[in-house]
Structure 1
Amino acid sequence: MRIVIGNLKEATHPDTLKAAFAELVSMFIFVFPSEGCAIALANMLTSDGAATPGGGIIAAAISHAFSFFVAVSESTNISGGHVNPAVTFGTFLGGHISLFKTILYWIAHLLGSITALFLLKIATGGLDTSSYALRGGETPWNTVNFMIVMIFQLVYTVYATTIDPKSGDMECIAPISIGFVVGANTLGGGSLYGAVMNPAMAFGQAVDSWKWNSHWICWLGPFVGDSLTFRHFQNLF
């Protein structure tokens, strides 16, 4: 483990602040359409008044994949295109970002998510946003295990396409690959357990709805997944 602490001077450097702001904007770009899709699906009924869960899951996966691809593409050259506290933590464990910068990124992620959901609430006339909660058919540890696997896939893809020095020129392929992983895991994890990969997005939803009962799961699963991913694959990159 090659942890870098950094210093206050680095944290206040214009380039660091610019990178953190890029992460805030990118998180906004990801959360606004993704949560907007969730709100639309929650209020969309078929002609006979029945919901369409199958089509809704596919629509949510596409929305997450496309918006995350765009968010990563726009911020990669400025901040590394993390757009997820779990991705930032994974790069921190690998020594690719300092602790001071990691904390700034996390603050930016949380503010970007809260801002997106606040403006979305205004834009929709006060419609309720989604918030993570156990569905009743699974235990918290079922969901934690699922999140660990999903974060492993996400962080491994980030390392392989953007951090690995042997990856070559993958400026276009990297955001697409990362977006596809997010979309695929939304389709799988979201349909089975409602599992999430982005703690910042879940935090914004919890702030908006003020429902915190299962929120700890949204942080424990991704961060454990980060630790296990780095532990087993640090020698590959």
Structure 2
Amino acid sequence: MAKITLGTTQEAAQPNCIQALIVEFIVTFLFVFAGVASKMAADKLSGDGLVGLFFVAMANVLLVAVMISAGHVSGGHLNPAVTFGLLVGGHITVVRSILYWIDQLIASAGACYLLHYLTGGLTTPVHTLKSGVGCTQGVVWEIVLTFSLLFTVYATMVDPKKGGFAGLGPILIGFVVGANILAGGAFAGASMNPARSFGPALVSGNWTDQWIFWVGPLIGGGLAGFIYENFFINRTHVPLLVDEVSY
């Protein structure tokens, strides 16, 4: 059974933690910046909802794959739900998780404010439930989609017996994010990432349904981390912390 580690406040002053936070800020900023920009471009240039959805999904495939690889120093979480899933599995301490969450939210806000300026004040698109989708349905959508994301993270990057998936983790995770956007984007937004939803909501002042994009991903991510770590990983040693693992 994986054990959640509290950690200490001294972690914040450790050089490896400071370096990880700087890298996590950079990759999260770039991920949110390009991700939101791709949605704005799709809305502006395409009148076809299906084409726009596909464009955004493919942009996220590339973004996730590249930013996870570029953020190897911090693990390239890009996402509070990923951090929470790894926390539940015992791969990162509570203290460092909190630092990552703050880092990710600030990076998301900064990216969206910069986009608002660079686009001349264009409306920043936010994640909301689509017509006919209720709150409970939205939460379940986010739980299922984020569960699949974290299950893939564990299977391809955390599990020491990942076998043939070694080195392919980032692109495979990108693929599952893109597939989830294609599957759920037209119904519940397919956020899977509280930070990705937070920045646009803050800049636009539109907090409609925002809680769904926190509750769903955190439940889905935590559940996937708990299940995979405790039922599928066979360890004969203490779980590695985030600065010792590739994700």
TM over 0.5: yes
TM-score range, shorter-chain basis? over 0.9
**Pairing 1:68–2:69 present:** no
For 1:213 and 1:124, the matched residues in 2 are separated by 23
Match of residue 107 from structure 1: 102
Is contact 2:32–2:108 with CA below 8 Å preserved after alignment?
yes
Please list the CA deviations of residues 54-89 of structure 1 after superposition, one character each: whole Å capped at 9, or x if unmatched.
11010010011111111101012x011211100000
* Deviation, structure 1 residue 94: 0.7
* Deviation, structure 1 residue 170: 5.0
Is contact 2:129–2:187 with CA below 8 Å preserved after alignment?
no
Please list the CA deviations of residues 87-122 of structure 1 after superposition, one character each: whole Å capped at 9, or x if unmatched.
000000011100111011111111111111111111
Q: CA RMSD in A?
A: 1.5
Match of residue 133 from structure 1: 128
For 2:190 and 2:86, the matched residues in 1 are separated by 22
Is contact 1:72–1:82 with CA below 8 Å preserved after alignment?
yes
For 1:141 and 1:236, the matched residues in 2 are separated by 29
Match of residue 119 from structure 1: 114
* Deviation, structure 1 residue 227: 2.9
Residues 205, 8 of structure 1: alpha-carbon distance in 2 compared, 3 angstrom cutoff: same
Is contact 1:143–1:195 with CA below 8 Å preserved after alignment?
no
Query: How much identity, in percent, do the aligned residues show?
Result: 40
Runs (4+) of structure 1 exceeding 3 A deviation are 168-172
Name the SS for the 2:231 alignment partner: coil
Residue 55 of structure 2 is aligned with which of 56, 59, 66?
A: 59
Residues 172, 198 of structure 1: alpha-carbon distance in 2 compared, 3 angstrom cutoff: same
Unaligned runs of 5+ residues in structure 1 are 46-50
For 1:227 and 1:123, the matched residues in 2 are separated by 36
* Deviation, structure 1 residue 195: 2.6
Match of residue 180 from structure 1: 175
Match of residue 23 from structure 1: 24
Unaligned runs of 5+ residues in structure 2 are 234-247
**How high is the TM-score relative to the length of structure 2?**
0.89
**How high is the TM-score relative to the length of structure 1?**
0.93
Match of residue 48 from structure 1: none
For 2:55 and 2:8, the matched residues in 1 are separated by 43
For 2:209 and 2:23, the matched residues in 1 are separated by 29
**Pairing 1:216–2:211 present:** yes
Comparing 16-25 and 131-140, the one that deviates more: 131-140
Letter in 1 for 2:11: E
Q: How does 1:58-97 map to 2 (within 5 A)?
A: 58-76=54-72, 78-97=73-92
For 1:154 and 1:132, the matched residues in 2 are separated by 18
For 1:161 and 1:216, the matched residues in 2 are separated by 29
Q: How does 1:148-159 map to 2 (within 5 A)?
A: 148-159=143-154
* Deviation, structure 1 residue 168: 4.8
For 1:118 and 1:171, the matched residues in 2 are separated by 37
Is contact 2:133–2:187 with CA below 8 Å preserved after alignment?
no
Is contact 2:65–2:171 with CA below 8 Å preserved after alignment?
yes
Letter in 2 for 1:72: I
* Deviation, structure 1 residue 133: 2.1
For 1:232 and 1:164, the matched residues in 2 are separated by 12
For 1:183 and 1:153, the matched residues in 2 are separated by 12
Q: How does 1:154-233 map to 2 (within 5 A)?
A: 154-168=149-163, 172-233=167-228
Is contact 2:105–2:195 with CA below 8 Å preserved after alignment?
yes
**Pairing 1:10–2:5 present:** no
